[in-house]
Amino acid sequence: MSNLKKIVFPAVVLLVLGTIATSAWAGDVKGKVTAQGLRSPENIAVYVDAIPGKTFPAPAQHAVMAQHHLAFVPHVLVILKGTTVDFTNEDPVGHNIYWPAINRNRKLAHNMGTWPQGISKPFTFDVLGDVPLLCNVHPEMSGYIIVVPTPYFALTDKEGNYTIKNVPPGKYTLTTWSEEAKPTTQAVTVGAGIANANLTVKR
């Protein structure tokens, strides 16, 4: 074995073992969100809030927000800060996309324009918070993009259940976002295996 191979091979082995060990120690955060005074506990975002001293690179893969059957699909899309979203029109009619604010800051309002079926337009979201989506052509349409500071997030199902996968060990703050309820926070400690965290949101 050459000297180069003697150096490179152990380094690769250590890298692989380190990756396996990190994955093995990662845990899931599971729980249920109880919605008081809301129509449904579905589509509530639950995410690990900002981690001091930790930043995350934006994913290379784009997220997709479609306009399909005169609706935004999905109704709520949660993304990591810096993610590019492709807005697609899948209907045989023209659609417009605009948002009046980001995180209630009207200075960040933006109109993507109007385009026909089969066209897609990208936009990169670099500001944290909620982005309410509307369509000038069809005022009954609405949707949301929620920009969060970590890649550890989930949306609740119809019963309010959620699972955030592959969270590294540590102590974190869970935060919720809901279309109708006030945000709530809760501490959670993650180790190997499953950490349970039930939350309650109120209108």
* CATH number assigned to the domain comprising residue 200: 2.60.40.1120
Report pLDDT for 10.
39
- Per DSSP bridges, beta strands 161-167 and 27-36 are antiparallel
At 113, the amino acid letter reads: G
Q: How confident is the model at residue 203 (pLDDT cuts 50, 70, 90)?
A: confident
The three-point CA angle 73-78-80 to 5° equals 135
Q: Say whether both 61 and 143 belong to one domain.
A: yes
Paired tokens of 84:
């590019």
Q: Say whether both 139 and 176 belong to one domain.
A: no
Average pLDDT, the chain: 88
Q: Say whether both 163 and 141 belong to one domain.
A: no
Residue 198 CA to residue 200 CA, distance in Å, equals: 7
Whether residue 80 is contained in a domain is answered as: yes
As a whole number, mean pLDDT of residues 107-113 equals 96
Work out how many domains the chain is built from and give that number: 2
In this structure, are residues 136 and 175 in contact, taking their beta carbons and an 8 Å threshold?
no
Q: Say whether both 114 and 90 belong to one domain.
A: yes
Q: Say whether both 111 and 182 belong to one domain.
A: no
Q: Say whether both 63 and 49 belong to one domain.
A: no
Which residues constitute the domain of residue 160? 26-53+154-203
Q: Say whether both 62 and 132 belong to one domain.
A: yes
Whether residue 15 is contained in a domain is answered as: no
First to last CA, the chain: 67
Taking only the tens place, the pLDDT of each residue in 74-91 is 999 999 999 999 999 999
Q: How confident is the model at residue 8 (pLDDT cuts 50, 70, 90)?
A: very low
The three-point CA angle 195-55-146 to 5° equals 70
Q: Say whether both 42 and 122 belong to one domain.
A: no
CB atoms under 10 Å from CB of 156, counted, come to 25
Q: Say whether both 98 and 177 belong to one domain.
A: no
Residue 119 CA to residue 160 CA, distance in Å, equals: 34
Query: Could you tell me the CATH number of the domain that includes residue 125?
Result: 2.60.40.420
Whether residue 86 is contained in a domain is answered as: yes
Q: Say whether both 65 and 144 belong to one domain.
A: yes
In the chain, % of residues over pLDDT 70: 88
Q: How confident is the model at residue 21 (pLDDT cuts 50, 70, 90)?
A: very low
Q: Say whether both 120 and 137 belong to one domain.
A: yes
> What is the b/e burial string over 102-129, where b = at least 16 CB atoms within 10 angstroms of the residue's CB?
beeeeeeeeeeeebeeeeeeebebeeeb
Whether residue 125 is contained in a domain is answered as: yes
Q: Say whether both 62 and 128 belong to one domain.
A: yes
